Amino acid sequence: MTDKEPERYYEWMLWKLRKEREKEMAFKLSNRSKGKLEGVHPDMVKVVETAIGLTKVDFGVTYGVRSVEEQERLVAAGRSQTMKSKHLIQDSGYSHAVDVVAYDGSDVVWEINVYDDICDAFKEAAKQHGVAIKWGAAWSEGDIRTYEGTAEDAMNAYIDLRRSQGRRPFIDGPHFELM
């Protein structure tokens, strides 16, 4: 036995323990969230299922498919801006969008910086699956996979653009859609 072998074994054991702890810490979708994914395009479902394992912030799915009546109600209330929502069933026969909610333990979190972190996980998941995704807090930035900076940078670029146009930005941090 060489002098380095016990050191290598010790390093390997520490690595193995870290990997096991990471698996235990990974978040999982609840049955309720999985139910909300019914009728959502399989590419988006893959991205969501991968993102939950990558994120530093727990989240659940609150919307997948919406009926026309639900969408009309949300537009009337100012919570959505279009009747051409990707939550409605598209020509593919699926909804192309999801809305998520962030959790800190059992508490719902609405601070936008938390959704930046979730977006970073969606970005990585979308890259892994080769799926083009748009984020609702960075509408002007296109496919979030190809954005060079962080999700926060993308959102700030969108906000700056809207303000330079004299328009108010519509920040929908919980929203992700296929492009």
Residue-level length of the chain: 179
pLDDT digits (tens, 9 = 90+) for 90-117: 999 999 999 999 999 999 999 999 999 9
**Cβ atoms of 175 and 99 closer than 8 Å:** yes
* Residue (of 152, 129, 133, 58) closest to 100 by Cα position: 58
Residue 11 lies in a domain: no
Whole-number pLDDT of residue 172 = 94
Whole-number pLDDT of residue 15 = 64
Residue 106 lies in a domain: yes
pLDDT digits (tens, 9 = 90+) for 31-90: 999 999 999 999 999 999 999 999 999 999 999 999 999 999 999 998 888 999 999 999
Residue 3 lies in a domain: no
Residue 56 lies in a domain: yes
Whole-number pLDDT of residue 147 = 94
Residue 77 lies in a domain: yes
Whole-number pLDDT of residue 79 = 85
Whole-number pLDDT of residue 59 = 97
Whole-number pLDDT of residue 81 = 87
Residue 7 lies in a domain: no
pLDDT digits (tens, 9 = 90+) for 133-152: 999 999 999 999 999 999 99
Q: What is the mean pLDDT of residues 165-173?
A: 95
- Comparing 6-15, 39-48, 117-126, the range with the smallest average pLDDT is 6-15
Write out the DSSP string of 16-44: HHHHHHHHHH-----HHHHHHTTTB-HHH
Residue 92 lies in a domain: yes
Give CA separation, 126 vs 18, 74, 111, 139, in Å. Answer: 26, 27, 23, 16
Say what the pTM is. Answer: 0.84
For 145, the domain range is 28-178
Whole-number pLDDT of residue 109 = 94
Q: Which CATH number do you get for residue 87?
A: 3.30.1380.10
**Cβ atoms of 136 and 171 closer than 8 Å:** yes
pLDDT > 90: percent of the chain = 82
Mean pLDDT (the chain, rounded): 91
pLDDT reading at 24 higher than 70: no
pLDDT reading at 18 higher than 70: no
Label residue 170 left, alpha or beta by phi (over 0 means left) and psi (-120 to 50 means alpha).
beta
Number of domains in the chain: 1
Residue 146 lies in a domain: yes
